[in-house]
């Protein structure tokens, strides 16, 4: 695997990253961590990832050599003297991340932010002005920027306690007479309002749903909660690659008086059951990058997870941007698939297993 542009920029500045207890946030496994270990073999490294794929790749390669965490809320007994943050896709998520790690930084800790120019990293000095001193650009290369600053302990009287409950954004939706409260953490898809694609999907679900339901790429849990409220004889399973989405979906279920099995998965890697109904507004972005792989793997492999029951039919309902070539993938790997609705650049694809 070739080293990403972001990792190349970090390697270019490796001499600035000397630390005893570095914390790497949402870095990918592409060789940078190995390079860092070669330069600083005594470092006590912690890698914190909210993306399940990246977490697995790092933990599988380094095992006990470094500490790895996949969770929505960072918690440790370690005090860090360096933090390297892969600049997140949303400014709110950066604020969330900085507030979350603050209790675990020593005074004077170096904080490095790195990201692609088009991802918004150039706004780092402004976004961190209340958190860091002397945040300034250190390097620009490979279409990326690297900023660095110094963390100073909050002044006496300022709140330094992080509570994840304070970061959920709640909003109300009402579709076909079904009212739901949605809770979402920063960075989770459709954090502040119902998106057009999901709304179209909810209007085109099967007329009757019962039995096991799988919500692939569940985000904040909108689809599953609507299904659970409308079709009470269902057993909900929700999966996502994001720890922030998983936490949000669990919170949304709780707020709406529902229960479900919410779990992390790299596409279908941890899916072991069969389902009567599979629903999805599948993601095609990973951070700021366009990424179709997980969804295409899902569409190629999902047929074996459709329940085969003569007494009850099983089906798949997908919503996607119309320009995405998901229909031919479904027809080839699942079987006859119909386009049952189109609206505002989105299409609904439906397969029924006879």
Which residues, 6 or more positions from 15, have their beta carbon under 8 angstroms from its beta carbon?
none
> Is residue 141 located within the same domain as residue 202?
no
- Confirm whether 156 is domain-assigned: no
> Is residue 236 located within the same domain as residue 337?
yes
- Confirm whether 226 is domain-assigned: yes
> Is residue 48 located within the same domain as residue 195?
no
> Is residue 38 located within the same domain as residue 115?
yes
Among 151, 186, 207, the domain boundary falls at: 151
> Is residue 98 located within the same domain as residue 215?
no
> Is residue 116 located within the same domain as residue 251?
no
User: Can you give the pLDDT at residue 121?
Assistant: 97
Which residues, 6 or more positions from 268, have their beta carbon under 8 angstroms from its beta carbon?
297, 298, 301, 302, 305
> Is residue 188 located within the same domain as residue 319?
yes
* Rounded distance between C-alpha atoms, residue 133 and residue 147, angstroms: 12
> Is residue 257 located within the same domain as residue 122?
no
| pLDDT (mean) for 128-137 | 94
- Confirm whether 162 is domain-assigned: no
- Confirm whether 105 is domain-assigned: yes
> Is residue 228 located within the same domain as residue 118?
no
User: Can you give the pLDDT at residue 290?
Assistant: 45
Could you tell me the residue range of the domain that residue 100 belongs to?
5-151
Among 151, 180, 212, the domain boundary falls at: 151
Q: How far separated are the first and last CA of the chain, in Å rounded?
A: 42
| pLDDT (mean) for 102-113 | 97
Residue 112's pLDDT band, with cuts at 50, 70 and 90, is very high
Residue 11 scores a pLDDT above 70: yes
Residue 267's pLDDT band, with cuts at 50, 70 and 90, is very high
Which residues, 6 or more positions from 42, have their beta carbon under 8 angstroms from its beta carbon?
20
246: domain CATH number is 3.40.50.150
> Is residue 240 located within the same domain as residue 302?
yes
Among 119, 151, 183, the domain boundary falls at: 151
- Confirm whether 56 is domain-assigned: yes
> How far lies 116's CA from each of 4, 9, 15, in Å?
10, 10, 21
- Confirm whether 299 is domain-assigned: yes
Residue 289's pLDDT band, with cuts at 50, 70 and 90, is very low
Query: Residues 143-163: pLDDT tens digits?
Result: 999 999 999 876 554 556 899
User: Can you give the pLDDT at residue 72?
Assistant: 98
User: Can you give the pLDDT at residue 15?
Assistant: 97
35 touches 59 (CB < 8 A): no
* Rounded distance between C-alpha atoms, residue 188 and residue 184, angstroms: 6
> Is residue 95 located within the same domain as residue 197?
no
Give how many domains the chain has, as a whole number: 2
> Is residue 140 located within the same domain as residue 19?
yes
- Confirm whether 159 is domain-assigned: no
């Amino acid at each position: 695997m070739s080293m990403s542009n972001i990792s190349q920029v970090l390697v270019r500045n490796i001499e600035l990253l000397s630390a005893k207890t570095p914390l790497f946030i949402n870095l990918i496994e592409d060789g940078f961590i190995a390079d860092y270990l070669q330069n600083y073999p005594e470092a006590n490294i912690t890698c914190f990832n909210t993306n399940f794929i990246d977490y697995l790749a790092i933990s599988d390669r380094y095992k006990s050599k470094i500490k790895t965490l996949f969770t929505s809320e960072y918690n440790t007994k370690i005090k860090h003297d360096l933090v390297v943050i892969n600049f997140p896709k949303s400014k709110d998520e950066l604020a969330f991340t900085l507030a979350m790690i603050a209790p675990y930084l020593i005074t004077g800790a170096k904080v490095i932010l790195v990201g692609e120019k088009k991802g918004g990293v150039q706004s780092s000095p402004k976004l961190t002005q209340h958190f860091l001193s002397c945040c300034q650009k250190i390097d620009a290369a490979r279409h990326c920027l690297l900023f660095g600053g110094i963390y100073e302990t909050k002044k006496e009287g300022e709140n330094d306690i992080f509570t994840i409950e304070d970061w959920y954004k709640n909003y109300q939706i009402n579709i076909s007479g079904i009212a739901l409260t949605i809770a979402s953490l920063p960075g989770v898809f459709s954090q502040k309002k119902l998106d057009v694609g999901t709304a179209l999907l909810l209007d085109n679900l099967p007329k009757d749903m019962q039995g096991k339901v799988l919500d692939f790429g569940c985000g904040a849990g909108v689809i599953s909660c609507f299904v659970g409220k409308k079709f009470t004889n269902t057993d909900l399973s929700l999966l996502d690659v994001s720890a922030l989405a998983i936490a949000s979906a669990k919170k949304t279920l709780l707020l709406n008086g529902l229960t479900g099995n919410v779990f992390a998965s790299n596409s279908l890697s941890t899916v072991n059951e069969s389902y009567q109904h599979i629903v999805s507004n599948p993601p095609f972005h990973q951070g700021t990058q366009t990424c179709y792989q997980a969804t295409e793997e899902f569409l190629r492999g999902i047929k074996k997870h459709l329940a085969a029951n003569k007494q009850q039919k099983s089906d798949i309902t997908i919503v996607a941007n119309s320009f995405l070539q998901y229909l031919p993938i479904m027809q080839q790997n699942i079987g006859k698939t119909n386009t049952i609705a189109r609206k505002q650049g989105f299409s609904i694809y439906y397969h029924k297993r006879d």
